[in-house]
Amino acid sequence: MSDERGPGEVGQTWRAPQPPPAAPGQQPPLRRPARRGPNALIVAGIIVFLLMLAGGVVLVAVAMVALGRGGEEATWGGFGDRVGVITISGVISSAGHDSMWFAPVGGSRSTMLQLRAAAKDDSIKAVVLRINSPGGSAAASQAIHMEVKRLAEEKPVVVSMADVAASGGYWVASAADKIVANPGTITGSIGVIMETLEYFELMEKIGVAGNALTTGKYKDTGSPFREMREDERKLLQAMLDNVYDQFVRVVAEGRGLTEEQVRKLADGRVFTGEQAKKVKLVDELGNFHDAVKLAAELGEIEGEPKLKQYGGSRGLREWLGSYLGFERRQVMWDLLYDHRLEGVESMLELRGSR
């Protein structure tokens, strides 16, 4: 016997009213799904956490495999005495960063931070400065050179030249204790260049004029809206000559040459690594691993040297491996730094020949 009376009657069981049946030809009314309570959200959160944890374990395993590259002359990561590796790649500028994911930038502020970090790290007994740059800003190259020189007073610094280490790239390299280049490396290009563009004649042809209000006759020097005067040309040339003299003095001091010897080579020409060795602009011919071996010897590291990479221009595998290897550096600064260039770039540039 069924018992379907209301909830107020004694001994009766109340049942929720059922929706009326759908009329012929109509769809039955949709029922709302039952709301999930907070327990379901907690379970979902735990599942997500476990998935992330599992992914982290996989990444650690991959990194450990990457770090354990047996048979190589040097091993990335690890503990004990190590050789620091700092890379300068691309045009040298005053930017405060170097790119981790895309084309790297030779930012002077970032490079200087890395050089100082290597100087403070007691586990770093020597540093390899890997340069692959055609040059760039004179001031930025000069700033990095100063830090390399300070580091070389405390620990051995060996430069490893890649495809090109010319002009501003060579300015930086000249502060190292030793320079190792590939026989086919392009280096040298000791000199300074300034370029201006003039299109006032084209503007005249199409009926466009440019005007500039200044507080002095030299304030608009180099303007494309007019022809450069002879006194302006002499002024700019004197400025270039001054930077050139600084460049020559730096190379002479770093390479143990006289200024007269350097000036014979410092006419903007480039050299191969083999040619540069003959004129004493580099010390040895070899690749990156040869530079590491030399740095380890100068740093008195016994056995196969372990490497510690600074900066974020190596790619994902080495970047991930270094941090999972418990290397300590200012990672948040490098990752969160605003990638905009600050201020106006210097007109003076030190660049390899095109």
Active site residues: 167, 219
Distance CA 262, CA 286 (A): 23
Residue type, 207: G
Torsion of CA 323, 325, 330, 334, to 10 degrees: -30
Angle ∠(122,127,129) on CA atoms, nearest 5: 150
Distance CA 308, CA 123 (A): 9
Element spanning 106, H or E? strand 106-107
Question: Residue 17: CB partners within 8 Å, gap ≥ 6?
Answer: none
Give me the residues paired with residue 127 across strands.
84, 157
Distance CA 353, CA 186 (A): 10
β-strands 306-310, 349-351 pairing? unpaired
Largest CA distance in the chain: 119
User: DSSP 3-state assignment of 353?
Assistant: coil
User: Contact, 349 vs 138, CB < 8 A?
Assistant: yes
User: Contact, 298 vs 158, CB < 8 A?
Assistant: yes
DSSP conformational letter for 72? S
Segments in the chain forming alpha helices (H): 38-67, 108-120, 138-152, 168-173, 200-205, 230-255, 259-265, 273-278, 288-298, 316-324, 331-336
User: Contact, 124 vs 131, CB < 8 A?
Assistant: no
